[in-house]
């Protein structure tokens, strides 16, 4: 929250009555016109306003007032607040400028198509619309449905990327991840079982051809026959 002066007219009344500051210095500090400050000093203005001490509220220090009183060209500086008030969280739909409202249906269509997990309330917060409008666009009943083109609300300036990511993450909590569709790679544990084991080398004797065996037997038989003839 910006550091701004509280109750400027009441502060001006107190400064006029309790300091030697010039009208210009008081006017600059309180955001008033010098003639208005002069009217306060003359009793022509702010007659029913009770002065508020800016020192008590922590908006000015005595040293700051004394420094400005010595030099009419010096400007008063507002003291930094001692307590930071957190900014209030936005409630309800986001305000959309008039110049961008014509793009809002296109942004709603983009959100409906690209992030179906978003609820109507979330879309309403993002682009500042109503649930009835979202329902009409979702069901293609909007009066301008034929001319709508899906457009990213971040690109259109209707929402920030941080807000969009936050709403998408919030909508995705607790949802089961979509199962892959189509052919997918099998896990390594399964593919290892499908690989055929390498064949063991066969015994050399098993590889002998039957014809070779018979040929060897025939040769042995012929040798035996020749031996008998010699005897």
- Compute the distance between CA of residue 106 and CA of residue 142 in angstroms, rounded to an integer: 11
- Confidence (pTM): 0.38
- Compute the distance between CA of residue 127 and CA of residue 159 in angstroms, rounded to an integer: 6
- CA 118 to chain CA mean position, Å: 14
- Compute the distance between CA of residue 60 and CA of residue 63 in angstroms, rounded to an integer: 8
Tokens of 23: 């009208």
The pLDDT tens digits for 127-176 are: 888 889 999 998 888 888 888 889 888 888 888 888 888 888 888 875 65
Beta strands in 160-220 (DSSP E): none
pLDDT, position 146: 87
pLDDT in tens, the chain (231 residues): 446 787 888 999 999 999 999 999 999 999 889 999 999 988 888 777 888 899 988 889 999 999 999 998 999 988 876 655 454 454 545 555 555 567 889 989 999 999 888 999 899 888 888 889 999 998 888 888 888 889 888 888 888 888 888 888 888 875 655 554 455 555 555 555 555 655 655 555 544 556 666 676 677 666 555 555 555
108 contacts: CB under 8 Å, gap ≥ 6: 123, 127, 129, 133, 134, 137
Nearest to 38 by CA among 49, 47, 48, 27: 27
CB 36 within 8 A of CB 25: no
- Compute the distance between CA of residue 132 and CA of residue 108 in angstroms, rounded to an integer: 12
Tokens of 165: 């990511």
Percent of the chain as helix, strand, coil, to the nearest 5: 50, 0, 50
DSSP state of 6: S
Domain ranges in the chain are 8-70, 98-172
pLDDT, position 26: 93
CB 49 within 8 A of CB 13: yes
pLDDT, position 198: 59
- Only one residue has tokens 């609300």, namely 153
CB 108 within 8 A of CB 137: yes
pLDDT, position 85: 47
DSSP state of 49: P
């Amino acid at each position: 929250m910006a550091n701004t002066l509280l109750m400027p007219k009441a502060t001006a009344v107190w400064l006029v009555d309790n300091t030697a500051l010039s009208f210009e210095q008081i006017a600059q500090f309180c955001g008033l016109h010098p003639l208005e400050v002069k009217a306060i000093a003359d009793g022509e203005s702010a007659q029913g306003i009770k002065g508020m001490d800016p020192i008590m509220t922590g908006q000015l220090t005595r040293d700051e007032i004394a420094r400005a009183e010595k030099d009419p060209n010096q400007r008063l500086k507002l003291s930094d607040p001692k307590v930071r008030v957190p900014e209030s969280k936005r409630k309800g739909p986001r305000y959309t400028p008039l110049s961008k409202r014509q793009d809002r249906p296109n942004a709603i269509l983009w959100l409906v198509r690209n992030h179906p997990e978003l609820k109507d309330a979330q879309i309403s917060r993002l682009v500042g619309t109503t649930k009835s409008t979202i329902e009409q666009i979702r069901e293609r009943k909007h009066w301008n449905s034929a001319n709508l083109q899906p457009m990213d609300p971040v690109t259109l300036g209707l929402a920030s990327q941080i807000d969009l990511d936050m709403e998408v993450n919030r909508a995705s909590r607790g949802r089961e991840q979509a199962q892959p569709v189509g052919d997918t790679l099998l896990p390594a544990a399964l593919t290892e079982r499908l690989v055929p084991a390498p064949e063991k080398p066969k015994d050399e004797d098993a590889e002998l051809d039957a014809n070779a065996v018979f040929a060897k037997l025939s040769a042995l038989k012929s040798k035996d026959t020749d031996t008998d003839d010699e005897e």
